[in-house]
Amino acid sequence: QLKISSGAQWVNSGNANVVVNNMDVVNDGNFAGTGSIKFTGNQNSTISGASQPGFNILEISKTNNAKIVLGRNIDVSYSINFISGLLDLNNNNILLDPVAIVAGESENSRIIGSTGGFVEITQNLNAPLGSNPGNLGATLTSNANLGSVIIRRGHVAQTGSGLNGSIQRYYVMIPQNNSGLNATLRFKYFDAELNGQNENILVAYQSNDNGTSWINLSQTNRNTNADYVEKS
């Protein structure tokens, strides 16, 4: 373990790059700073502790199908970089700063979270044109000023009245202004998230009651090669 005890501080300065090989990070103190933390090795690693850690750059470079498993919420101020391996939310949340991004996700190296949790970013979107906040895969276009918009991405398959099952990805969007947006949403996914659904007939569903009931919005456009569904 790399353990920061209560009352202690771990501070990266400048462009320091710390490699954590087959180790867990337990933060009971203060964990912050610049530079990067890179998780390597062929075994699972966990991020846990009593205090919420703040990563500048979090890099995943696991082999042998190993992953990072979250044991608590984390903050990321600049980027999450995927080289290889998975990052399992494990019913916890990743909170991105407004300028932060998720980079390098692929079919075999990405965020997962079948037991719950989400990755969230908040940005101001005034007449967004193909805006993809945080590179989370929800691309928005609108002539309206949406104001401050919260976007959350989760990976629990959705069910409810009007929906028997979904792929293992959903978005929650909370715009400050939700009137007359006339927006277009492009919904990105990976084939590994299809969850047995037929990619050729994917459509968008919307819920206004936290997933209890669902409305089939159909689709305006979809592309099974680029892996997205779009609705205007």
Q: 160-196, pLDDT tens digit by residue?
A: 999 999 999 999 999 999 999 999 999 999 999 999 9
With 0.85 as the threshold, say if the pTM is over it.
Answer: yes
Write down the pLDDT at residue 102. 98
For 134, list phi and psi in degrees, rounded to 5. Answer: 70, 5
Predicted confidence (pLDDT) at residue 154 exceeds the cutoff of 90: yes
Provide the 3-class DSSP secondary structure of residue 200.
Answer: helix
Write down the pLDDT at residue 109. 98
> 222 and 228 in contact (C-beta within 8 Å)?
yes
pLDDT tens readout for residues 30-76: 988 899 999 999 999 999 999 999 999 999 999 999 999 999 999 99
> What are the structure tokens assigned to 42, written together?
């062929």
Predicted confidence (pLDDT) at residue 98 exceeds the cutoff of 90: yes
From 14-18, 96-100, 173-177, the region with the lowest mean pLDDT: 14-18
The sign one gets for the Cα dihedral 139, 95, 98, 66 is negative
